[in-house]
Structure 1
């Protein structure tokens, strides 16, 4: 699924198969899962989350108090949010990694592939003190093509991020939000033991933002279109890092 930008100080992290974000979304939804993950998926639907919700009712997650303000993940509605997200995707700093620049239909197709899927990836607005200012994709990394490239554990949860407003970039807001989102995942997904991300290894500001948010650099991973830094925030270390 979608990594940061070409200019220093921009926090943005994108899809696992690399810059081809649309390809990443389609590949995720069409992934042929190994038998053990199919069994996990069936168990989730029978016993997990809200009526088998793969991300434990993300729409109902409570807001978080952060040093930057009150933050909440709000699932995307295309009729309400498309124009704003498409504008962010056409920012050259964002487009360099997400590759969703162009007419709104390009962004709409990318988001709709997730909304029409089985719930393993949920696109969200990051709302800070009532203002939408970032875009997140919260996804099941263990059910994603990323799982082919690292030793996945059941319920591993991945994060993609872009900070939309230029005024919010380069001053630590991305780091604050990444920590808040990782904490939200760990608070609301009790079976998840770690939160992951895979920014482009060349994207030093993005990697630094994750390190500042309590993630550790677990490995360098060769994905189809990039060499990624596999960043991990462990539940057992969340109060240490």
Structure 2
């Protein structure tokens, strides 16, 4: 399998714009027809396994955003049949998290827990603690809906993510801790996105630096503070 092809976009920008600007999300069949039509034009240029993985992932997403969860599950399973954790960890754990969530939303909790088990089994395949946090948040959502208790076997993962990303939270009740981390991460990820988007409108480098410095001063997550510091240094040495 040519795993290098995973890092390139499957759909060109003009198709993406047409999908999300011109076709309503509830009209998933029109979206899928558009995806399939374009896919046929690039099929011969791609590794066949990578092509199938990317195609089913995109079709699954069309179903997912239209809340057609059983249909999305069918395609996400087809992705996992060919995609292994070491092939492309980011995509693998993204699809696993969606399998967990789709099954939870249709109250198929045993299936959700099955995919949680698969995710935790292979979690060391990803170096990203954000992937790990994402799986933890999907897991606690299933626990809440199914009224089940947190498996203490997974508590070291929480501690690792806290230490690796530099969260201000400490492990107390696992569900409360993961939910607090989710909230903190969501807030500061959004704030960082706002700072980066502001660069489009701010031509003054000093203003951009001040925006990152203000972010860094208030952000409680070390990973984001380090990111901001790096952004500041890049702009100071341009």
What band does the TM-score fall into relative to the shorter chain?
A: under 0.3
State the TM-score, normalized to the length of structure 2: 0.26
Higher percent of residues as helix:
2
Q: Which of the two has higher C-alpha Rg?
A: 2
Higher percent of residues as strand:
1
* Greater RCO (Cα-Cα under 8 Å, separation 6 or more): 1
